[in-house]
Amino acid sequence: MSTPSRADGRSADAPRRVDGRSADAPRRAALLTLGCARNEVDSEELAGRLVGSGWELVAADSSAGGPAPDVIVVNTCGFVEQAKKDSIDTLLAAADVAKDGGAKVVAVGCLAERYGAELAESLPEADAVLGFDAYPDLADRLGDLLGGHAPAPHVPTDRRTLLPLAPVQRPAAATDVSVPGHAWVPDLSRRRLSDGPVAPLKLASGCDRRCAFCAIPSFRGAFVSRPPDDVVAEAAWLARQGVREVVLVSENSTSYGKDLPGGTRSLVELLPRVAEVPGIDRVRVSYLQPAELRPDLLRVIADTPGVAPYFDLSFQHASPSVLRRMRRFGSRADFLDLCERIRAIAPEAGIRSNVIVGFPGETEDDLAELETFLTAARLDAVGVFGYSDEEGTEAAGYDDKVPAEVIAARVSRISALVDELMVQRAEDRVGTEVTVLVENGEDEDFECTGRAEHQAPEVDGECIIERGSGLAPGDLVRAVVVDTEGADLVVSPREVLASAQREPAIPGST
């Protein structure tokens, strides 16, 4: 006698798991992402791998009535002390959520790669700690964990040693080394975890610079560019998912192409190609090194249609003596000259940076030099960080450490200056015209918001659009700045622009 079938085609007598689902039902995974846009790309690659292996993606918290996950994967950040703390807190919170449904908690990402077994030992709440080399077969690793066979904790290594010293030899060798965010098989290797009109797109991974304060190269590895055809193809795929702005990210975008046949002109040639992808209206480049920003690249970013005239410049300081101890280049005069050259081509270009205060040996004169630079540079946005020792870095062994209370006072001092300068810079834009990409629609509680070309996601200000505009996320709008709210701009929309259109949609309209 035949066994009765259910509506879904499975046998009514099919074996069932403890959670009531049949044994052949898809496993469920939740992904939580911390840190930078590069981690967002990595998480979407992991999501693509899981879905391609038959997994279902769900929210971590099922209290609202959604299905509970079998595994909560936390993509951690290990950049600085606060980022590490946030990652640990998120793992602990995930473990609390997992208790009720019996889900497993898995740590991946930079913190897991950097500390591996040490993290596993100090954080037993994580059921597994996996490094980057586990990414290609993550579905199998998670399946083993659910089957009672926990993978051995990742054992860290200096990832700079995994690829040849000569950059030109790396692309071929990288096929045997897991480089997160580089795999590209259309509709398989990436799965979007949000439906917004903006998405990060990875240019490269790793870094060959040896900044004294930074541990990233040791766990992200040597610099490896992605093939330009892969970048363009992924941009086209993102456009088909409704993305209108791609943000090109890496540890050091100005190095893109040094390991490719086109050499360092590769980014100069790539940007117009990405800007020409149908459906992509804006291309933004992040993480530029001032010392590597050549005139040809500066000009391509500043005046190529579809490329945002936006310069995310990693100045870090302005005192030559501090910069040399940091193993970096430049000075206040050099950096001001660079800002002037940018604005000579694109007067309304956005320029942002990050600075570190309290670096070992920093004096009051050094700090005053930084203040003078910031005041003269008129940057649109500045992130201010207090120095902290990072294991394995050169600066961790420096003498002349600045006391913690002095660092805190200097952070407050520079932050107050930066806040004032950012407000002034926003006020300078009143009366100017901006092109705004709408990211959040209006409702009874929130105003419609978006970003102009000089505003990057997360790290810069935003545009607040006058109520009653009727705009929706994904709309590209020509608008006039009418007021400011701190560093944010209040804008009055004039017209909606057609996709990939640089001029008004209706000829002669105003």
Which tens digits make up the pLDDT trace of 189-224? 789 999 899 999 999 999 999 999 999 999 999 999
Which among 121, 155, 189 is the end of a domain?
155
Which among 102, 132, 155 is the end of a domain?
155
Please provide residue 134's backbone torsions phi and psi, each rounded to the nearest 5 degrees: -85, -10
CA proximity to 446, closest of 429, 426, 469, 430: 469
The residue whose two tokens read 């030992």 is 121
339 annotated among ligand-binding-site residues: no
User: Based on the number of CB atoms within 10 Å of its own CB, is 48 exposed (0-12), middle (13-18) or buried (19 or more)?
Assistant: buried
Looking at the fold, whether 99 and 120 belong to one and the same domain comes out as: yes
Ramachandran region, residue 316 (left: φ > 0; alpha: ψ -120 to 50; beta: rest): left
Looking at the fold, whether 346 and 372 belong to one and the same domain comes out as: yes
Looking at the fold, whether 141 and 177 belong to one and the same domain comes out as: no
Looking at the fold, whether 224 and 246 belong to one and the same domain comes out as: yes
Provide the CATH number for the domain around residue 470: 2.40.50.140
Q: Give the confidence band of 188 by pLDDT, cuts at 50, 70, 90.
A: low
CA separation for the pair 139, 42 (Å, rounded): 15
Looking at the fold, whether 234 and 378 belong to one and the same domain comes out as: yes
CA separation for the pair 76, 396 (Å, rounded): 23
CA separation for the pair 265, 145 (Å, rounded): 46
CA separation for the pair 444, 99 (Å, rounded): 37
Say yes or no to pLDDT of 5 above 50.
Answer: no
Q: Is residue 505 part of a domain?
A: no
Structure tokens at 240: 């088909």
Looking at the fold, whether 195 and 226 belong to one and the same domain comes out as: yes
Average pLDDT of span 416-421: 97
Looking at the fold, whether 335 and 444 belong to one and the same domain comes out as: no
Q: Is residue 103 part of a domain?
A: yes
Say yes or no to pLDDT of 17 above 80.
Answer: no
Q: Give the confidence band of 180 by pLDDT, cuts at 50, 70, 90.
A: confident
Looking at the fold, whether 450 and 484 belong to one and the same domain comes out as: yes
Q: Is residue 4 part of a domain?
A: no
Which among 392, 411, 428 is the end of a domain?
428
110 annotated among ligand-binding-site residues: yes
Domain containing residue 110: 28-155
Q: How many domains does the chain have?
A: 3
Angle formed by the axes of helices 295-303 and 332-345, to 10°? 40
Average pLDDT of span 139-163: 92
Looking at the fold, whether 416 and 437 belong to one and the same domain comes out as: no
463 annotated among ligand-binding-site residues: no
Looking at the fold, whether 349 and 436 belong to one and the same domain comes out as: no
Average pLDDT of span 121-146: 94
**Model-wide pTM > 0.85:** yes
214 annotated among ligand-binding-site residues: yes
Looking at the fold, whether 85 and 175 belong to one and the same domain comes out as: no
Say yes or no to pLDDT of 405 above 80.
Answer: yes
448 annotated among ligand-binding-site residues: no
36 annotated among ligand-binding-site residues: yes
Q: What is the pLDDT of residue 6?
A: 30
DSSP string, 329-387: ---HHHHHHHHHHHHHH-TT-EEEEEEEES-TT--HHHHHHHHHHHHHH--SEEEEEE-
Q: Is residue 288 part of a domain?
A: yes
